[in-house]
Amino acid sequence: MAGRKGEKHWRDALMLAVHRIREGKDQRPILAELADKCVEMALDGDMQAIKEIGDRLDGKAPQAIIGDNENPVGIQMIERVIVDAAKATD
């Protein structure tokens, strides 16, 4: 059975792991090592690493909401509901 709503065990375990400090001469958090590795991969031309850095620094590109003749994008106006609700309280 899954955990209670809001419990994220995998996330919690990863947070602990990436903030752990390695023992030895390189005493940086593991998260710093991962970031360095991502930058190295991007510099080597890895497009996924380049995209990841861009998404993290600039944010993901917005997605257009489009439709076509058979499936137009519908925008539901709620103005009438607000007006009707205001009339009901008069």
- Locate the domains of the chain by residue range: 8-62
pLDDT one-digit tens code per residue, 15-61: 999 999 887 777 888 999 999 999 999 999 999 999 999 999 988 87
pLDDT one-digit tens code per residue, 11-25: 999 999 999 988 777
Task: Encode burial over 55-65: b for 16+ CB neighbours within 10 A, e otherwise.
Answer: eeeeeeeeeee
How far is Cα 76 from Cα 63, in angstroms, rounded to an integer?
A: 20
Q: Which of 16, 39, 20 is nearest to 30 (CA)?
A: 20
For the whole model, what pTM was predicted? 0.56
